[in-house]
């Protein structure tokens, strides 16, 4: 089958690889119908993310079940499903607590499309087929009324944005939300979630050059701020909920400086460095709660799917462009905030 393979920054190749097969009775085979480009895929292709090719590429997907093992009961051939990017079993101690980012039954960090994270190749989403273990637990049904293109990103980036805002809204009366983005999809999803959850004020700030994402945020009706230098900006105000998706240490510090008393700051930037200085004194004084972790995408997906199904939350407003699978290699480095690939192979 065809598999998009990452070789090195700037270089993707279509490889012919063996088609995955059912190995255990709990497995399923899924044919990807739509694959969203993760913000990390973009960083990787431009040389600012993962290294260590060759590996199968793409990990945010919604597809169709084409084969199931004899022990699978919750999905059947023909069902449309979302495939979480992290592989988890659903039955170990950690999975039972919703910590599906730390499943004890698989290699630590087991994921699709990002072999360097876990050291093991599980295949990628920009392929004709994907092998899905623990199918009864892993596969999340996609409602008929929702296009696969809308929720392919639910596998990862949509869930990653949802957890920065939605779980914290109840803590605050008329919550205000600040998102510091980097021109990519995650920050824009966080805005959509803040709007959907009734935030009283939503501000999108972007550091540096400023591009399409600022325009898209403005079209969503939120306040936008272009920040030429995070270091030279004292604060962007005093917000109940702040989100650092800037991918930048100075952006993180600006998010913390802009968090109000007893506020909540979440960072889903991935610092590839353990030595990150933190303004602990002001965090202590203001009583700021700080969150960071890999997302629990499987655990969060059912609620996210429900919000999209009932028309509450609109992830499709973040899609800048839909591109056929066949053109995925050429389009991967398009600087647009979010690209969704659609299966044009029949
Ligand atoms: Zn990702
Ligand atoms: Zn598990």
Q: Is residue 21 classed as helix, strand or coil in its secondary structure?
A: coil
Question: Can you spell out the DSSP letters for 203-260?
Answer: EEEEESS--HHHHHHHHTT-EEEEES-STT---S--EEEEEE-SSSHHHHHHHHHTEE
Please indicate, yes or no, whether residues 287 and 299 belong to a single structural domain of this protein. Answer: no
Three-class SS of residue 84? coil
* Residue 12 and residue 150 in one domain: yes
Distance 55 CA to ligand 1 centre (A): 14
Ligand 1: centre distance to CA 117 (Å): 11
pLDDT digits (tens, 9 = 90+) for 213-253: 999 999 999 999 999 999 999 999 999 999 999 998 999 99
271 band by pLDDT with thresholds 50, 70 and 90: confident
- Give the CA distances from residue 299 to residues 138, 149, 152, 158, 309, in Å, rounded to whole numbers and listed in that order: 10, 21, 16, 13, 17
Answer whether residue 130 shows pLDDT above 90: yes
Both 198 and 216 in one domain: the answer is: yes
pTM confidence score: 0.96
Q: Residue 39, Cβ neighbours under 10 Å: how many?
A: 30
Q: Which ligand neighbours the alpha carbon of 106 most closely?
A: 2
The confidence score (pLDDT) of residue 277 equals 83
Reported confidence tier of residue 209, pLDDT bands at 50, 70, 90: confident
Are residue 14 and residue 40 in the same domain, yes or no?
Answer: yes
Whether the CB-CB separation of 148 and 173 falls below 8 Å is answered with: no
Q: Which domain holds residue 202?
A: 160-291
182 contact partners, CB below 8 Å, separation of at least 6: 39, 206, 207, 213, 245, 246, 247, 248, 251, 269
User: Which residues neighbour ligand 1 (ion) by CB within 5 Å?
Assistant: 38, 40, 156
139 and 259 assigned to the same domain: no
Q: How far is the CA of 235 from the centre of ligand 1 (A)?
A: 29
Confidence band of 275 (pLDDT split at 50, 70, 90)? confident
Give yes or no: residues 71 and 144 share one domain.
yes
Do 171 and 147 lie in one domain? The reply is: no
**pLDDT greater than 90 at residue 274:** no
With a pLDDT cut of 70, the percent of the chain lying above it is: 100
Neighbouring-strand partners of residue 265: 242, 290
State in Å: Cα 162 to ligand 1 middle. Answer: 14
Q: What is the CATH classification number for the domain harbouring 176?
A: 3.40.50.720
- Ligand 2 mean position, distance from CA 135 (Å): 12
Please state the φ and ψ torsions of residue 131, each to the nearest 5 degrees.
-95, 125
- Do 9 and 44 lie in one domain? The reply is yes
Tell me how far the alpha carbon of residue 47 lies from the centroid of ligand 2, in angstroms: 32
49-58, 91-100, 158-167, 273-282: segment of lowest average pLDDT: 273-282
The CA distance from 16 to 294, in Å, is 32
User: Residues 34-62: what's their mean pLDDT?
Assistant: 97
Give the ligand at the shortest distance from the Cα of 37.
Answer: 1
- DSSP lists the bridge partners of residue 178 as 203, 242
CA distance 231 to 148: 40
Give 285's pLDDT tier (boundaries 50, 70, 90): very high
Which whole-number Å values give the CA distances from 337 to 29, 40, 100, 290, in the listed order? 30, 12, 27, 26
Helices 157-165 + 185-196 axis angle, to 10: 50
Task: Measure the CA–CA gap between 23 and 126, rounded to whole angstroms.
Answer: 21
Locate 159 and state its tokens: 């869930």
- pLDDT tens-place string over residues 89-109: 999 999 999 999 999 999 999
Cβ atoms of 307 and 167 within 8 Å: the answer is no
pLDDT tens-digit map of 56-83: 999 999 999 999 999 999 999 999 999 9
Mean pLDDT value across residues 173-180: 97
Going by DSSP bridges, is the β-strand pair 60-68/80-83 parallel, antiparallel, or unpaired? antiparallel
For tokens 């980036």, name the residue. 157
198 lies in the same domain as 59? no
Going by the DSSP 8-state scheme, the letter that residue 286 receives in this structure is H
Which one is predicted more confidently, 210 or 82? 82
If one counts the domains in the chain, the total is: 2
Mean pLDDT of 280-296: 95
Cis check for the bond before 54: say yes or no (omega within 30 of 0).
yes
Rounded distance between C-alpha atoms, residue 239 and residue 257, angstroms: 10
Q: Are residues 177 and 255 in the same domain?
A: yes
CATH number reported for the structural domain that contains residue 90 in this entry: 3.90.180.10
| Spacing, Cα 122 to ligand 1 middle (Å) | 14
């Amino acid at each position: 089958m065809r598999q998009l393979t990452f070789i090195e920054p700037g270089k993707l190749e279509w490889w012919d690889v063996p088609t995955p097969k059912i190995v255990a009775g709990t497995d399923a085979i899924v044919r990807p119908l739509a694959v969203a480009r993760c913000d990390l895929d973009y960083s990787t292709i431009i040389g600012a993310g993962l290294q260590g090719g060759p590996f199968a590429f793409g990990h945010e997907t919604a597809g169709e079940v084409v084969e199931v093992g004899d022990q699978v009961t919750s999905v059947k051939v023909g069902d449309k499903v979302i495939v979480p990017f992290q592989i988890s079993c659903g039955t170990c101690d950690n999975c039972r607590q919703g910590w599906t980012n730390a499943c004890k039954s698989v290699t630590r960090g087991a994921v699709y499309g990002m072999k360097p994270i876990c050291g093991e190749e599980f295949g990628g989403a920009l392929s004709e087929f994907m092998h899905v273990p623990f199918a009864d637990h892993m596969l999340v049904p996609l409602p008929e009324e929702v296009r696969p293109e809308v929720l392919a990103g639910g596998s990862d980036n949509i869930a990653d944005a949802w957890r920065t805002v939605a779980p914290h809204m109840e803590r605050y009366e008329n919550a205000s939300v600040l998102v510091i983005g980097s021109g990519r999809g995650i920050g824009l999803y966080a805005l959509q979630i803040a709007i959907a959850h009734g935030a009283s004020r939503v501000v999108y700030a972007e550091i540096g050059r400023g591009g399409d994402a600022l325009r898209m945020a403005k079209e969503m009706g939120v306040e936008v701020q272009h920040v030429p230098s995070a270091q030279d900006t004292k604060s962007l105000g005093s917000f109940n909920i702040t989100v650092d998706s800037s991918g930048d240490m100075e952006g993180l510090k600006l998010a913390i400086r802009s968090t109000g008393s007893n506020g909540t700051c979440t960072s889903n930037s991935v610092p590839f460095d353990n030595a990150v200085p933190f303004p602990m004194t002001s965090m202590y004084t203001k009583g700021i709660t700080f969150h960071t972790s890999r997302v629990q995408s499987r655990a969060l997906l059912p609620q996210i799917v429900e919000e999209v199904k009932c028309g509450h939350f609109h992830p499709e407003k973040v899609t800048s462009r839909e591109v056929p699978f066949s053109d995925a290699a050429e389009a991967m480095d398009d600087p647009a905030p979010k690209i969704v690939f659609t299966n044009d192979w029949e």
